[in-house]
Amino acid sequence: MSHYAQLDENNIVTQVLLVNEEKEKDDRFFLFRLSKKSPEYFGVKFLQKLFPNTRWKKTCSRTFLNEHLDKGVPFRGNYAAIGGIYDEENDVFYLAQPEPSFVLDQNTWSWKEPYLPPSDRWEDEENWYFWQWSEESYNQDKEKGYVLKSVKKPDWMLEDFEDSGCPPTEDELKLL
């Protein structure tokens, strides 16, 4: 089975369908072999018979961040997503830009913040603290796109384990 992304006039993915590989060969394997055309060609022709006046591109559900999840050859940057973009010039799929300041990384075909977050992370007795991108902060000061956020620790972590006689195991702590 192969996946095909339907594209609108702006190369935005409108749907992704699964096609049986036999349909990619147009149910005429001998013509497929004689024509020297790719299986994608026949898959697209099959879909265009079902949906006239449409455009389609094959996509691979095992390609993510320009890597093949089974260590194979990545195909078109990423698996196509509805609302995502097909870049004709580079023959890749990627998601729509999440924030105006984000930059497209052409190694992974994914969007990145303009710079990396501060590396410091910490916690106190009740909270974990982390850096989160804020477009509003970035627009006010290009040096300060990240804002400090916190998440309250679960109540069971706030208990005094020494009194209960049951400290969390290492595996339990990893689940946090």
Last residue of a domain, one of 82, 112, 142: 112
Tokens of 176: 């946090």
Closest C-alpha to 41, from 30, 28, 56, 52: 56
Q: Give tens-digit pLDDT for 27-61.
A: 554 455 556 677 888 889 889 999 999 999 999 99
Number of folded domains that form the chain: 2
Last residue of a domain, one of 69, 92, 112: 112
| Domain span holding position 167 | 122-174
Q: Are 77 and 134 part of one and the same domain?
A: no
Q: Are 32 and 104 part of one and the same domain?
A: yes
Q: Write the single-letter amino acid at 94.
A: Y
Q: Give tens-digit pLDDT for 58-94.
A: 999 999 999 999 999 999 999 999 999 999 999 999 9
Phi, psi of 148 (to 5 degrees): -80, 130
Q: Write the single-letter amino acid at 42.
A: F
Closest C-alpha to 83, from 16, 1, 2: 16
Q: Determine the pLDDT at residue 145.
A: 94
